[in-house]
Structure 1
Amino acid sequence: METTNPSQDGIRSTETLGPDDLAAARAVLAAASAVDGREAVSEAGRLRLRVDSARPGVTHLVQRQEGVPAGYAQLEAAEGRTTVELTVHPDHRRAGLGRQLLDAALAEADAGPVDFWAHGGHPGAARLAEEYGAELVRELRQMRRPAEPVPDEPVLPNNVTVRTFRPGRDEAAWLRLNALAFAHHPEQGSWTEQDLAERLAESWFDPAGLFLAWRGEQLVGFHWTKVHPDGLGEVYVVAVDPAEQGSGLGRALTATGLRHLAEDRKVPAVLLYVDADNPAAVRVYERLGFTVHEVDLVYRVDTAAGR
């Protein structure tokens, strides 16, 4: 599948993106985003789109048709399964290229389950899923609410205090709690020092929007907020130590971040992502006025069983 010339038609598989492949991948993703109204690759995937930046377990598939970028897929192998995000340039859709990309991804993957994302529940992905006999295994909901009305002043549990993040001092405590709180989460719980450092280096990062809850010297919760380039706010990550579950800390931290986004950052609305199979979190967000805006779906193909 690897080609000797990055400009040749077909699908090129590479673990390290050179300048030509990087430009092609970015061109496909930009065109798809402009037409679909959403990103085709997650934030984590977009952070991997750098020249000569290889990540363990990550493979890039760059597709060209008639000499121009036509499709892109990113594979990540971890914990016995492969996760795939892919899209086809809008000018080349409905010509079988998505099927070619998925076939290439399945060929690259080790035997076992292959999960592929359908961001926004894209109908093209649903058609592919049906054709390949894929099983729907995950529904990630994007929920939104207007920034107003601002939540009431949060009430913290006894002996818990909140302050903002201190770069260079709080990273280790944050990573420990993130791993603990998201031990069973397929993406968030596996963050490394590099993953955190990459996000802290992003232009949108603001330490004043990352709230840390402490019980004495122990970090027991956090709410990381984000403001997008279009001005939309986000409940980026909320985490609570399992020992604090039921104390009201998660709700208090969520309210703290929402008040910051509305009053300090003046955002018009706030979004968040939550798994549909986490009904407790969904209920908390619904009580805060969030409603479902759209859904991202994950379909699974078992390559060991064949198609």
Structure 2
Amino acid sequence: MNILISDEAPEGFGLSMTVPQGFSRDLLTVELVAALRESLVATDSLTQIWIEDAQMDDDKLLSSIGFSSYRDLWQMRCKFPPNGEGIATRSYICGVDDEAFLEVNARAFSWHPEQGSLDLSKLDDLFKEEWFDDEGFLLLEVENRLAGFCWTKVHHQSDLTVGEIFAIAVDPDFHGRGFGKPLTISGLNYLADVGADLGMLYVEADNIPAIRIYEDIGFTHFCTNRAYRNSV
């Protein structure tokens, strides 16, 4: 099990690394220091380290090498069927819906360091991923406009199949009309129909309104991925 180095760091960072779930805490700081030394990034650049499934002592371990936590991402899971009713959607059409989707995505995720930077080139790269299935990329149209989307992803693991809400958003122009919950449920219903054993998504730990919606649907907190950064 190795520490993963991202091909492209988020804006503001010179380097981004991810420590996968289950990585030995006995080796953590030694391996991180070695990875930092082996990288070609300048020593005075800002570095981000993600710890998947963060543990109680991780803050202390990362502090010992000059890193402090600044962002928590919850993984939440739910059983099928979800609580509530879905909403009518249609599947994404590559090459037709790209522009409208990118516009809504940019508005909905203007604050988000990763999703908000999605452009046509990155979108095309995602379409080439083995897991991509346009049937599971659901679009909500209201008043002849794209009002939201629920992009799903299926993870085939050794012991179960996990259906992920990979990205979901409602255009800010349509906020307050109650589309978020039924759109999420539509995505979960699709995932159940294609054989997923359970639903999963990631949400910022401080996004309390979204967490409340997800809890109402049936999601519960499963684990926390935590991001750290150094001081330069």
Q: TM-score range by the shorter chain?
A: 0.7 to 0.9
Q: Is the deviation greater in 165-174 or in 182-191?
A: 165-174
Structure 2: how far apart are the matches of 1:125 and 1:109?
Answer: 25
Aligned-residue sequence identity (percent) comes to 34
Matched, 1:173 2:106: no
For the residues of structure 1 that align with 2:123 and 2:173, how far apart are their CA atoms?
Answer: 24
Structure 1: stretches of 5+ with no match in the other structure? 1-30, 33-39, 42-72
Q: Shift of residue 209 of structure 1?
A: 1.0
1:209 to 2:129 alignment: no
Q: How many residues align?
A: 226
Q: CA deviation at 1:102?
A: 2.7
RMSD: 2.7
Structure 2: runs of 5 or more not aligned: none
Pairing 1:114–2:38 present: no
Instruction: Mark the CA change 1:109 to 1:283 in structure 2 (over 3 Å): closer, same or farther.
Output: farther
* Corresponding residue for residue 148 of structure 2: 221
TM-score for both structures, normalised by structure 1: 0.66
1:141 CA drift (Å): 0.5
Q: Which of residues 192, 216, 228 is equivalent to 1:299?
A: 228
Q: Which residue of 2 aligns with 1:85?
A: 17
Distance 2:185 2:29 in 1: 47
- Match 1:260 to one of 190, 205, 213: 190
> Matches of 1:103 and 1:129 in 2, distance apart?
16
CA separation of 1:122/1:195 partners in 2, compared to 1, >3 Å: closer, same or farther?
Answer: farther
Distance 1:78 1:266 in 2: 34
Match of 1:135 among 63, 68, 74: 68
Structure-to-structure mapping, 1:1-307, within 5 angstroms = 31-32=1-2, 41=4, 73-74=5-6, 76-87=8-19, 93=27, 96-105=30-39, 108-109=41-42, 111=44, 113-121=46-54, 126-147=59-80, 149-154=81-86, 162-230=89-157, 231-262=161-192, 264-303=193-232
Question: By how many angstroms is 1:112 displaced?
Answer: 5.3
CA offset digits 1:130-172 (Å, max 9, x no partner): 213422100001010112x344333x5xxxx621111221111
Distance 1:201 1:98 in 2: 31
Q: Which has the larger radius of gyration?
A: 1
> Which whole-Å CA distance do the structure 1 matches of 2:29 and 2:47 have between them?
23
Contact 1:138/1:298 (<8 A) preserved: yes
- 1:111: how far off? 4.0
Q: 1:110 to 1:291 in 2, by over 3 A?
A: same
SS across alignment from 1:120: coil
Amino acid at match of 1:285: Y
Q: Which amino acid aligns with 2:53?
A: G
